[in-house]
C-alpha cells in the first residue's frame, strides 16, 4: 500500500486532513507511539507527585495510620504507575525497530557527527543568536538528546525504585533481582538520594516540554501538538527538511 498523495513517512490509517494553501500533511506517528506518549507522560506526572509525597508528605490525616492507610495507597499508586511506565518502555523498545523512519532508533539518538553540528545551530537559534537553523519533520537533534537523557534517567529511576521496593520483602523476587543496587551505590540511603534527585529531572522536563510544544504550535502553526493526537502534522511547502 502506498501513502496517499501529499503525505510522507508512515502510511496513515485514514486519508490525511485537508491542509491549508501552501502546506502539506505529513503522517509522523503511529497510534502505538502516540498512546505510549500519553501513558508515559501521565505516569511520570503521577510518579513525581506521589514520589515527592512519599519522600516528604504534603499533609497527614488524623487517627491511626491503619485506619486510613494514606501512605499505603500513595505507595500503591506510585508502584502501579511505575509498572505501567515499564510496560510502555518495553513496547517503546520494540517500536524502535518496528516503527517508521521517524520513530526508529536512528531518528531518536543523535549518533552522527552531522547531528551534533546541527544541534549547535539549533541551540544558537533557541538562544536567539541567529535566525537560521535547519528544520526536521520528526525530532531535531536537540530533542533527540533530551529524550535519550530522559530514557537513561528513567532506566536508573526504575532500577533504584525497584531496589527500594524490594526492601519491603527482603527475601522476595525484587530483592533477588535488584539486591545488587544498594551495595553498588554504597548503601540503600544513597539509593534513596539518587532516586529522589532524579525525580527533579521530570519535574523540570515536563513543563519545559509542554511550553516548547505549545510555543512551536503557536509560532509555526504546524499542528505539532495535535500531531501526537492524530499522527498528522502540517508543514510548509517552501521549507526544506533534513529528514524529508
Q: Evaluate whether residue 13 is within a structural domain.
A: no
Q: Evaluate whether residue 24 is within a structural domain.
A: no
Q: Evaluate whether residue 80 is within a structural domain.
A: yes
Alpha helix positions (H), 56-187:
65-68, 70-98, 113-126, 141-165, 173-178, 181-185
- List the single range of 2-6, 12-16, 36-40, 203-207 with lowest mean pLDDT: 2-6
CA 201 to each of CA 160, 173, 206, 209: distance values in angstroms, whole numbers, following the listed order: 15, 29, 8, 12
CATH code: domain of residue 130: 1.20.950.20
Calculate mean pLDDT across residues 211-216: 81
Residue 24 pLDDT class (50, 70, 90 cuts): confident
Count of domains forming the chain: 1
Cα-Cα-Cα-Cα dihedral sign, residues 3, 4, 5, 7: negative
Domain extent, residue 222, equals: 34-58+69-233
Q: Mean pLDDT across the chain, nearest whole number?
A: 83
Q: Evaluate whether residue 196 is within a structural domain.
A: yes
Calculate mean pLDDT across residues 200-211: 87
Amino acid at each position: 500500500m502506498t501513502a496517499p498523495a501529499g503525505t510522507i513517512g508512515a502510511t496513515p490509517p485514514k486519508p490525511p486532513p485537508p491542509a491549508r494553501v501552501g502546506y502539506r500533511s505529513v503522517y509522523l506517528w503511529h497510534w502505538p507511539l502516540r498512546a505510549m506518549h500519553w501513558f508515559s507522560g501521565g505516569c511520570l506526572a503521577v510518579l513525581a507527585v506521589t514520589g515527592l509525597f512519599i519522600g516528604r508528605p504534603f499533609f497527614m490525616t488524623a487517627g491511626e495510620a491503619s485506619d486510613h492507610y494514606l501512605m499505603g495507597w500513595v505507595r500503591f499508586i506510585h508502584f502501579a504507575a511505575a509498572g505501567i511506565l515499564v510496560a510502555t518502555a518495553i513496547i517503546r523498545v520494540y517500536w524502535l525497530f518496528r516503527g517508521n523512519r521517524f520513530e526508529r532508533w536512528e531518528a531518536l539518538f543523535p549518533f552522527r557527527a552531522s547531528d551534533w553540528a546541527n544541534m549547535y545551530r539549533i541551540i544558537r537559534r533557541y538562544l536567539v543568536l541567529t535566525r537560521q537553523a535547519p528544520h526536521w519533520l520528526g525530532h531535531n537533534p536537540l530533542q533527540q538528546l533530551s529524550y535519550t537523557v530522559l530514557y537513561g534517567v528513567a532506566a536508573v529511576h526504575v532500577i533504584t525504585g525497584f531496589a527500594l521496593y524490594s526492601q519491603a520483602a527482603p527475601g522476595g523476587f525484587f530483592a533477588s533481582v535488584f539486591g545488587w543496587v544498594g551495595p553498588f551505590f554504597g548503601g540503600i540511603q544513597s539509593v534513596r538520594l539518587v532516586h529522589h534527585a532524579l525525580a527533579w529531572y521530570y519535574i523540570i522536563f515536563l513543563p519545559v516540554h509542554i511550553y516548547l510544544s505549545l510555543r512551536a504550535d503557536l509560532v509555526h502553526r504546524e499542528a505539532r501538538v495535535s500531531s501526537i493526537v492524530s499522527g498528522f502534522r502540517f508543514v510548509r511547502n517552501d521549507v526544506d527538511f533534513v529528514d524529508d
